[in-house]
Every structure is written in C-alpha cells, then in structure tokens.
Amino acid sequence: MTQDIDPALVEAPYPLQQHLGFTITAWQPDYARFELPLEPFLMNRYGIAHGGVHAVMLDTVMGYCGCYTGDRDNPKLAMTLTLNVNYIGQAKGNVLIAEGRRTGGGRKTFFAEATIMDELGTKVATGTGVFRYRSTR
C-alpha cells in the first residue's frame, strides 16, 4: 500500500530493510510509515517478534520522518544520536506498522517519536530519538 506516497519518491530498501521485509507506505514532511509482515525468522525463542526488530523499525521510521524533501534529486540523510525504545505489548496480528513523527529540531538535528502497532491496533512499542542531518556526499 503506497497510496500515501508519491511512487516517484519510493526508495529501494537498503539491504537490511530488504532482508527484514520492510515496505515504506507513507512519507511526507515530518511523517513516515513502514510496514513489516511478521515472518518466523523475525521471532525470538518465545515466538514473538525480537525486540531488535522493534528497535530497527523505530530507528528507521524516525530517521525517515525528518528527511522528507519531496525531491529525489535532493535527498536528506540523518544518523541516529540517541534512541529510546519502550516495549509495551506483543503483537496479536501479522503485520507491524511503525509511524514516526518529527517533533522538533533545527538546522543540524531533529527530534522524533514513533509508535509500532499491529494491523489489529495492538500497541507494541514506542520510541523517541535525536538525529543529526548528514551530508549526502
């Protein structure tokens, strides 16, 4: 589902996103959304999504939410300075949906928050982070 994103701006997943199965389903100024179908290789020994999967999703969606430019030829990149993850519950559905929002910042850094839910609306994790813009060259 990419109805909330201009197809011309959809980036090919970087190798880790591709390996895990991420898809970007929305991206606009100060907002991004990723979806991840739960697969057996993403689970821990208890049969629930590994906490590292949640951390990667939160980190990625928050980084993207602060980097939208609307211009494929003028990308903006960021690197994570801090990442805080709160594990709230376990998914009952089959797809994790991460939504990130830029909450503030300036010319060199920005702040973001994110939530992960499943497709049934079960809140799974939240996070906050601080990101630094970096050069694209």
Domain boundaries, the chain: 7-134
Q: Could you list the pLDDT tens digit for every one of the 137 residues in the chain?
A: 445 666 555 665 678 888 898 889 999 999 999 999 999 999 999 999 999 999 999 999 999 999 999 888 888 999 999 999 999 999 999 999 999 999 999 999 999 999 999 999 999 999 999 999 998 66
- pLDDT, residue 1, reads 40
Nearest to residue 113, comparing CAs of 97, 95, 98? 98
What's the CA gap between 21 and 23, in Å, rounded?
Answer: 7
Sequence length of the chain is 137
- Continuous segment of H or E residues that includes residue 117: strand 109-118
Q: Whole-model pTM?
A: 0.90
CATH entry, 7-134, from 3.10.129.10, 2.70.98.10, 3.90.480.20, 3.30.470.20: 3.10.129.10
Max distance between CA atoms of the chain, in angstroms, equals 44
- pLDDT, residue 89, reads 94
